[in-house]
Structure 1
């Protein structure tokens, strides 16, 4: 017999002239928890585990990690492999089609991945959502992973590259050698290319940054764009006039 998602613990029928009513007390079903062993890490969100003779695929709840073509994918895959080496014992707490994995020392793997800035919270479950959000706050405050301005592929990293390039080309004297001027012009062009990429927002690099912070970062870019275009044109013109 398949049990419903909740247990009906008590019911009383009250009869009266107007009809009848039911009083029901509802208790949530406890989460199914099993102890398993890691077979292998399939990708940055998926793990195969063995429970006795049965192997099942577990999708991490509340975790959105970089895909193969996204920023910090390799780092996320490496960390997940370190947290869940083949054969490691894990506790699997299922929530619908997803699950939370905890190691023997009590580490919640889902939150650990997010806390290093190598994944962001997603709402596909509620039982562990608070832990995922708190881990994301830790990563954001520590400027880790997808939140870091020192990682070139992150949103903060791209903005940092653009603003620093603008400062460099703005400071470049026009009375310089052809090679030096060409390098400066190419620096401006590369930064303009990054600006064009930011004109198409989306993906995990954007999801990792809070909307308010996105606005702050984009304001910095908007401020330096005229400098990049102006200086590239000036530098190209001077280079063209040099023999």
Structure 2
């Protein structure tokens, strides 16, 4: 029944497919060129047809309204490696055979039996997708995609910086690699280090917010982690990295403030007066002002000793004489002086 429906659909769209399939769901074709990760041109019966691979979605590279997405060039390159120009392939359609761009919706199988649609998912370069009733190749694609997730390939590779796991790894490495505040030599260097740490913190916080929110985000890299069980763990890793970077920024700001604060003036000290003269030696007495300086007084001369020679001492002086006396040698007799 399913095959009959496909055949009828193909007959109805024969003008679009230009006789590529005539009442059946498969045709031989030759690859002419790869357009991007999920689009390829083939030649059937001398006429070129554009094929859009069913049940996969790959990062954009040639969309007129979108930038080149993460791993878009890698997806196109991988499809070229699977479908070099001149490769003979089998083209298989499903319920709906064309899209609004008049591309043939199909799967491409190689002569060795591999489904190219599934091989793109197995490399981690395509996500499973179903549009309308076309689900013919979805089981093979989903199984291959599960292998890519388990192996961490492509959109799930933590070593590729543009993937979400890669972004988490990058902010962790950036936060742990920040310089410590003790390494700043000047206030300007500390300011620069603080600004760098703050930027890392802001990036990590934005990543944490995106991983914690259920709001849809553009890009296949975010679609790849939308339903992953480890998304909360990745969000927590981003928050931890943000905390580390914030601590570093605060430390550098404090260092900059310290480097800009002038040191306190030295405490006043009392210098002792020199205890020696200019020529050294013994200590000199404190100097006195001329007003307080006193001249030494001369010692009084000793009074001449008066000795009484008595009445029998000779006739050296009148009796009762008390004036000055001049003694003769030997000091026994005297005369008035």
TM-score (norm 2): 0.58
Matched with 1:72 is 71
Displacement of 1:237 after TM fit?
Answer: 4.1
| CA shift for structure 1 position 4 | 7.0
Q: Say which of 242, 264, 277 aligns to 1:225.
A: 242
Output aligned runs, 1:196-235, within 5 Å.
196=206, 199-200=209-210, 201-209=217-225, 210-235=227-252
Asked if the contact 1:44/1:73 (under 8 Å) is kept, the reply is yes
Within-5 A mapping of 1:1-243: 5=5, 32-68=25-61, 69-95=68-94, 96=96, 97=98, 98-124=105-131, 125-169=134-178, 172-178=179-185, 182-183=192-193, 185-190=195-200, 192-193=202-203, 195-196=205-206, 199-200=209-210, 201-209=217-225, 210-239=227-256, 241-242=258-259
Moved more, 91-100 or 150-159: 91-100
Shift of the 175–139 alpha-carbon distance from structure 1 to 2, 3 Å rule, reads same
Which is higher, the Rg of structure 1 or of structure 2? 2
- Give, in whole Å, the separation in 2 of the partners of 1:194 and 1:188: 10
Closer, same or farther in 2 for the Cα pair 1:118/1:91, shift >3 Å?
same
Aligned residues: 217
Q: CA 1:136–1:31 in structure 2 vs 1: closer, same or farther (change >3 Å)?
A: farther
Structure 2 residue ranges without an equivalent (≥5): 8-22, 62-67, 99-104, 211-216, 261-337
Separation in 1 of the partners of 2:243 and 2:183? 22
Does the 8 Å contact 2:161/2:167 carry over to 1? yes
> In 2, distance between residues paired with 1:173 and 1:134?
47
* Secondary structure of 1:70's aligned partner: coil
Could you say which structure has the higher strand fraction?
1
Q: C-alpha separation between the residues in 1 aligned to 2:158 and 2:69?
A: 16
Contact 2:6 2:24 in 1 (8 A): no
User: Given the two structures, how large is their TM-score scaled by the length of structure 1?
Assistant: 0.78
